[in-house]
Amino acid sequence: MFESVLDMVVTWNTRDNTNESICEFGIEGLQRLAKAPQGPTAFVDGGPKKATQYIHRVTLTNLEPNSTYRYHCGSQLGWSATYWFRTQFSHSDWSPSLAIYGDMGVVNAASLPALQRETQRGMYDAVIHVGDFAYDMCNENGEVGDEFMRQVETVAAYVPYMVCVGNHEEKYNFSHYINRFSMPGGSENMFYSFDMGPVHFIGFSTEFYYFTQFGLKQIVMQYDWLERDLIEANRPENRQKRPWIITFGHRPMYCSNANSDDCTNHETVVRKGLPFLEMFGLEPLFYKYGVDVELWAHEHCYERMWPMYNYTVYNGSLAEPYVNPGAPIHIISGAAGNHEGREPFLERMPPWSAFHSQDFGYLRLQAHNRTHLYFEQVSDDKKGEVIDHFWVVKDKHGAYGSDL
């Protein structure tokens, strides 16, 4: 489910072709009706059984801002339970709260119970899942993906469930990821942006840089789109209204894990660009256009970095490192729960790593206003204890110093 200011897209799937995709909804009751004009679309899994399911997408339009809607989905052959969601305000002067995490599977989904409870208590305005779903959605002819969607329904049916692609979605050219989710922008969910309160969020694919068998053109297309989006976000009138720019992608540019993942290498592909060519690297691009925070997953851990660029720390000051920092802040929260285990850390942590933990858990963000963001990492191992928290404070936003 995703939301613009006054529209919501509701997505569900069925194993049978119902020939209709209908959503009944309303504030006081289920008095309005929306249909997908063409009905459901068939999606054929790439596995040996070529199992077919039907994807339903219905857009709910002309919604009232800051209002609670009830809805249910289906057709004359059957209906879902009734759910609810709350629309955004129609302006940027509000303080959205989000849950952020990556790497959550069907087995050992450690964070899911807390996320279910907190979402239905109304704690979040949106959720961002930073890649790696189900482990893997394509397994068992797509049945693992079906089970994952059933499990997260108790979150995704109530708030916009925003996603980006991870390495575990690669099978059959990312077809399960492309078909099961509905992000804005018309780019098959691979790269897009959306606004919430004072924040401009940008989701993108790190996987284009690793699965080049699907072509290099996708890297170029995404890079060009990212620059256009960042230019638009940096127009004075837009940056004044939404000064915070936060990106999210699956594989991090930096990490302190003792494994062979790309982020343990000095010249990370996402950071520096294609090998030998050093083209389409995202670190210089995000720095140039003043990205404030970069959210990552992939490593099954939590790690907060000091503000940094090119392995160099640019704290705001020694006493207040996150007050007017001189570079983006990188955060990894890839510990929502998986069956592959926890990631080890280096024995000697690098100076740019500020805090790290192997606990399963998830990140919370509250965008208080145009000058203050608040982050906290919740530990499932410690029964919901907040193990790390910090403020990011900026009285001006934009490109960082030209001396970096």
Residues 53-82: pLDDT tens digits? 999 999 999 999 999 999 999 999 999 999
Query: Quick one: pLDDT at residue 350?
Result: 97
CATH of residue 73: 2.60.40.380
CA distance 1 to 157: 7
Query: Quick one: pLDDT at residue 2?
Result: 47
Same domain, 313 and 197: yes
Same domain, 290 and 253: yes
Same domain, 48 and 164: no
Same domain, 257 and 282: yes
Query: Quick one: pLDDT at residue 404?
Result: 39
Domain that holds residue 98: 91-393
Q: Given a cut of 50, is residue 4 above it in pLDDT?
A: no
Domain tally, the chain: 2
Query: Quick one: pLDDT at residue 6?
Result: 78
Same domain, 107 and 252: yes
3-state secondary structure 129-191: EECCEECCCCCHHHHHHHHHHHHHHHHHCCCCEEEECCHHHCHHHHHHHHHHCCCCCCCCCCC
CATH of residue 263: 3.60.21.10
Q: Given a cut of 90, is residue 252 above it in pLDDT?
A: yes
Whether residue 400 is contained in a domain is answered as no
Same domain, 145 and 53: no
Q: 156-170, 267-281, 381-395 — which is least confidently predicted?
A: 267-281
Q: Given a cut of 50, is residue 114 above it in pLDDT?
A: yes
The mean pLDDT of the chain is 95
Give the pLDDT mean for 25-31. 93
Confidence of residue 3 (pLDDT cuts 50, 70, 90): very low
Query: Quick one: pLDDT at residue 349?
Result: 97
How does pLDDT run across 256-275, given as a tens digit for each residue?
999 999 999 999 999 999 88
Q: Given a cut of 70, is residue 1 above it in pLDDT?
A: no
Phi, psi of 167 (to 5 degrees): -65, -30
CA distance 202 to 295: 10
Same domain, 174 and 84: no
Buried b (16+ CB within 10 A) or exposed e, 22-42: bbbbeeeeeebebebeeebee
Q: Given a cut of 80, is residue 190 above it in pLDDT?
A: yes
Same domain, 296 and 264: yes
By the 10 Å C-beta count (0-12 exposed, 13-18 middle, 19+ buried), 341 is classed as: exposed
In percent, the amount of the chain with pLDDT more than 70 equals: 98
Phi, psi of 263 (to 5 degrees): -70, -10
Q: Given a cut of 90, is residue 401 above it in pLDDT?
A: no
